[in-house]
Every structure is written in structure tokens, then in C-alpha cells.
């Protein structure tokens, strides 16, 4: 009898492990593989860049990814203008925009080195 009890316990343990390892019904599929990030670029021609990358993100999650990206750029630009008053997202070195989703909402992070025209 003890042998049957221990075999039952082993079978039950294996079944529990199998259920725990299986994906939940209705779970979101894993995200598609992200493309490899581009190689770091040098400063734009005729510009000099800050030695530290800045990160900006808007406050909270937005219902639209476009709104979230814009909020991240605006926040990044506020920080960049504190270093270079003429900084612009169009002249950033190694720009990177990453977004995360939470249900229907998203939050984005804008990263990059602020640059400005070299003094004459």
C-alpha cells in the first residue's frame, strides 16, 4: 500500500509541474523578436554632442502609442535644452524610442545624446 501512495504522489507532482509549465489559456503570445539595435552613430556633421545619454518619458501611460512617443520626446527635449538651449530631437546622436504596453495603454522612453551646432 505505501508503494501505491508514493507512486500516486509522484504522478500528482509531475501533473502539477506540467500544468505550471504550460501557457495559460488566453495568455498573450510572446512578442515578436525585436530587430537588433543599430550600431552607435557618430555625431551629426557639424554638431557636437553631450557625453551622457538622456532619457525622457511622459507622465503615466497614454491611450495612444503616438501620444506616448510625443510625451517622451517632449520630456527628453526639456532635459536636453537644459544642457544645450538649441538641442532638437532631429539632431540627437543614437536616438532610441522604446515603448511598453499595459493592456490598451503604452508608455514610451526616448533616449539619446543631445547635440547642437559646433560654435564657429
Q: pLDDT tens, 82-112? A: 998 988 999 899 999 999 999 999 999 999 9
The pLDDT confidence band at residue 69, using thresholds 50, 70 and 90, is very high
CATH architecture of the domain with residue range 45-120: Roll (3.10)
* Domain locations in the chain as residue ranges: 45-120
Burial environment of residue 110 by CB neighbours within 10 A (0 to 12, 13 to 18, 19 or more) = buried
pTM higher than 0.75 for the full model? no
Amino acid at each position: 500500500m505505501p508503494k501505491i501512495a508514493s507512486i500516486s504522489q509522484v504522478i500528482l507532482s509531475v501533473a502539477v509541474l506540467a500544468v505550471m509549465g504550460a501557457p495559460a489559456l488566453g495568455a498573450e503570445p510572446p512578442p515578436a523578436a525585436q530587430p537588433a539595435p543599430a550600431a552607435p552613430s557618430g555625431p551629426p556633421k557639424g554638431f557636437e554632442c553631450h557625453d551622457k545619454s538622456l532619457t525622457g518619458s511622459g507622465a503615466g501611460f497614454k491611450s495612444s502609442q503616438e501620444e506616448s512617443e510625443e510625451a517622451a520626446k517632449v520630456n527628453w527635449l526639456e532635459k536636453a535644452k537644459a544642457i544645450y538651449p538649441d538641442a532638437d530631437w532631429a539632431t540627437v546622436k543614437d536616438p532610441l524610442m522604446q515603448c511598453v504596453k499595459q493592456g490598451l495603454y503604452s508608455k514610451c522612453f526616448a533616449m539619446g545624446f543631445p547635440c547642437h551646432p559646433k560654435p564657429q
